[in-house]
């Protein structure tokens, strides 16, 4: 995956190093941190674009994020697409969880899935929640899943 900062600057180091450097820098500045990881997708014609974000929040002091985009021509049902979003977020969370444990940083996985049964994405809610919680991660869904429903949503072109 190719990762970049919100300003579009490509990272020159692996994402794990960039996140660790950010944690060290922000902790040295005295901030208590929380990380939220989420993915959103958008279907455009024959392509589906996914955007995954790692949002690093400074308690009461804003935050910043790293992001990565990918595209595929694979066709998904709504339920399948929601679960691919969750899988993308879990893959990143799993690769970084050792850092969060080492530096005592709380982390949540956000799913862009509506808790209201009237929405199509809701059909994936139970599976997504079980997947995320089963991996040992904290889980948030809409309307509390800002990393996926707001941050990643802005990154999907």
Please, how many CA atoms are within 13 Å of residue 93, restricted to the half-sphere of its CB? 30
If pLDDT is split at 50, 70 and 90, which confidence band does 157 have?
low
pLDDT given at position 53: 97
Report whether pLDDT(79) > 80.
yes
pLDDT at 98: 97
* pLDDT tens digits, 89-141: 999 999 999 999 999 999 999 998 888 888 888 888 889 999 999 999 999 99
Question: Do 151 and 116 touch, CB atoms closer than 8 A?
Answer: no
Which pLDDT score is estimated for 121?
A: 82
Q: What are phi and psi of 40, to 5 degrees?
A: -130, 165
Phi, psi of 116 (to 5 degrees): -85, 120
Q: Looking at residue 133, what is its pLDDT?
A: 92
For residue range 21-61, list pLDDT tens digits in order. Answer: 999 999 999 999 999 999 999 999 999 999 999 999 999 99
pLDDT of amino acid 136: 92
């Amino acid at each position: 995956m190719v990762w970049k900062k919100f300003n579009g600057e490509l990272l020159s180091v692996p994402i794990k190093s960039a996140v660790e450097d950010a944690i060290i820098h922000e902790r040295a500045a005295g901030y208590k941190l929380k990380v939220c990881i989420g993915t959103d997708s958008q279907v455009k014609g024959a392509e589906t674009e996914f955007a995954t974000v790692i949002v690093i929040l400074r308690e009461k002091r804003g935050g910043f994020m790293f992001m990565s985009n990918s595209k595929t021509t694979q066709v998904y049902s709504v339920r399948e697409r929601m679960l691919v979003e969750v899988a993308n977020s879990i893959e990143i969370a799993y690769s970084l969880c050792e850092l969060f444990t080492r530096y005592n940083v709380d982390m949540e996985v956000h799913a862009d899935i509506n808790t209201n049964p009237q929405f199509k994405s809701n059909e994936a809610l139970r599976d997504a929640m079980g997947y995320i919680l089963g991996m040992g991660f904290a889980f948030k869904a809409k309307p509390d899943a800002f990393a996926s429903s707001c941050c990643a949503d802005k990154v999907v072109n």
